[in-house]
Amino acid sequence: MIVERPALERRVLASIEAGRIPVLLGGCGTGRTSLLLRLSRMLGLDRSQYLDFSACATTPERCLSAIVAASRVRPAGDWPGERPASARAAFDSMLAFFDRAVAPDGGPPTFLVDEILDLRTFESFPGLRHVQKETTARLAASPSRFVLASRFTARTHRLLRDAPARFEVIHVPALAAAEVVSLALLFDGGRREWATQMAPAVAAITNGRAAYVHLLIEAMAALGPVIDPVAALAALLAPGGRLTARCRESYEFRLHRARGYGALKAILGILAEDEPLTLTEISQHLYRTPGSTKDYLSWLEDVDLITVQNKRYAFEDPLLRLYVRLHGRAVPPTDDDVVREVHAYAQARLPRASDRESEPVMAAAERPPDPDRTSGIIEID
């Protein structure tokens, strides 16, 4: 199920209409792909094309072939069908395909490119050492329109640091309680009171991450009229739980995209036990020098697993920290372990009763858009 996010969707569409290239950034499960697919329908399926580079960015030749075969948006005239003579030629042909594509009315189409940084896989081929910078320069000058997305925030900011001014970074915000209500009503449109009552707690304990919200609402809906998000979270984080599998996927994916796999897991285990910690504190727990520990921490920051504020390091995703506390050990957690850890986590994050009474939750259609929730825009100058 894909929840509507009108304020965010309008912000992206306005960016496109202004001639900019919106770049959507958000971690695993924040809803980037869902947003791209919804935008494609809003723009018109004959005028736009969604492309998943995490799946098709293998070799330049096969990537080109996959795009040509899948795209509904085609270049004007006949597209040459001959096989590219080299990896470099295939890459150039892919960019030419984007440049020459036209919508049915002759106007520019919109390509919605998911996981744009996965083009980095091409850099191991001859003549493509700087493929990411070449791509951003070419897209910035292209007559076609683009929306780009990536789960790697730090790496994307670094890539766009010296990019043309056409790119506009938009951080996908967490779901607000009103948006949680809208998603809950997709499960059962007749239970508005239930959706409204449980939304603040769900938004709080999931940190508004769309994939977590979806799983928690689905589990709660199966429980019937009882509103118990903590019990549902405990069930989802059991050794065979669906949220356990979702967190493991994100955890392993990011670690495999970083350097120093074993040491990085050790640091995440240390931070799962206690956070935030300073560099010195982490190095002492790790039994490594501050210099080598600093390198490990920078690699974790590079894949957005940790964040640093006032020289103290912590998990970027609090629920992922809970997953590591439970499952980053030599033996699986017992039922008592899961209940104890989930209860402590939830109690620290659940809104107080006074807060819930002072600010009732409205349905998304009833609450005016909050500009602060979509103002996370960074203009790349």
Q: What is the pLDDT along the chain (381 residues), one digit of tens a residue?
A: 677 888 999 999 999 999 999 999 999 999 999 999 999 999 999 999 999 999 999 999 999 999 999 999 988 777 766 788 899 999 999 999 999 999 888 899 999 999 999 999 999 999 899 999 999 999 999 999 999 999 999 999 999 998 888 999 999 999 999 899 988 888 766 678 888 888 999 999 999 999 999 999 999 888 766 678 999 999 999 999 999 999 999 999 999 999 889 999 999 999 999 999 999 999 999 999 999 999 999 999 999 999 999 999 999 999 999 999 999 999 999 999 999 999 999 999 986 533 444 344 333 333 333 333 333 334 433
Give a yes or no: residue 199 inside a domain: yes
8 Å CB contact between 319 and 234: no
Q: What is the pLDDT of residue 236?
A: 95
φ, ψ dihedrals at 326, nearest 5°: -85, -40
Picking from 23, 11, 12, the residue whose alpha carbon sits closest to that of residue 166 is 23
Domain boundary among 120, 143, 171: 171
Give a yes or no: residue 381 inside a domain: no
Give a yes or no: residue 377 inside a domain: no
CA–CA distance, 79 with 271 (Å, rounded to integer): 53
* Residue 199 and residue 106 share a domain: no
Other Cβ atoms within 10 Å of 86 Cβ, number: 14
* Residue 157 and residue 59 share a domain: yes
Give a yes or no: residue 380 inside a domain: no
* Residue 210 and residue 347 share a domain: yes
Other Cβ atoms within 10 Å of 185 Cβ, number: 19
Which residue range forms the structural domain that includes residue 129?
6-171
Domain count for the chain, please give it: 3
Q: What is the pLDDT of residue 350?
A: 86
Pairing type for strands 101-102 and 74-75 reads: antiparallel
Domain boundary among 138, 153, 171: 171
For the packed helices 192-206 and 177-187, what is the interaxial angle rounded to 10 degrees? 130
pTM: 0.86
Q: For residue 276, is the peptide bond before it cis, meaning its omega torsion is within 30 degrees of 0?
A: yes
* Residue 346 and residue 287 share a domain: no
* Residue 116 and residue 161 share a domain: yes
* Residue 134 and residue 76 share a domain: yes
* Residue 249 and residue 233 share a domain: no
Give a yes or no: residue 374 inside a domain: no
Give a yes or no: residue 372 inside a domain: no
* Residue 162 and residue 77 share a domain: yes
CA–CA distance, 302 with 279 (Å, rounded to integer): 16
* Residue 67 and residue 212 share a domain: no
Estimate to the nearest angstrom the gap between the alpha carbon of 252 and the chain centroid.
15
* Residue 162 and residue 148 share a domain: yes
Give a yes or no: residue 68 inside a domain: yes
Domain containing residue 124: CATH number: 3.40.50.300
Domain boundary among 156, 171, 186: 171
* Residue 256 and residue 115 share a domain: no
The beta-strand segments (E) located in the chain are 21-25, 48-52, 74-75, 101-102, 110-114, 145-150, 167-171, 277-278, 306-309, 312-315, 377-379
Q: What is the pLDDT of residue 363?
A: 35
3-state secondary structure of 25: strand
* Residue 122 and residue 84 share a domain: yes
> Which residue do the tokens 């990011």 mark?
254
Give a yes or no: residue 147 inside a domain: yes
Domain containing residue 291: CATH number: 1.10.10.10
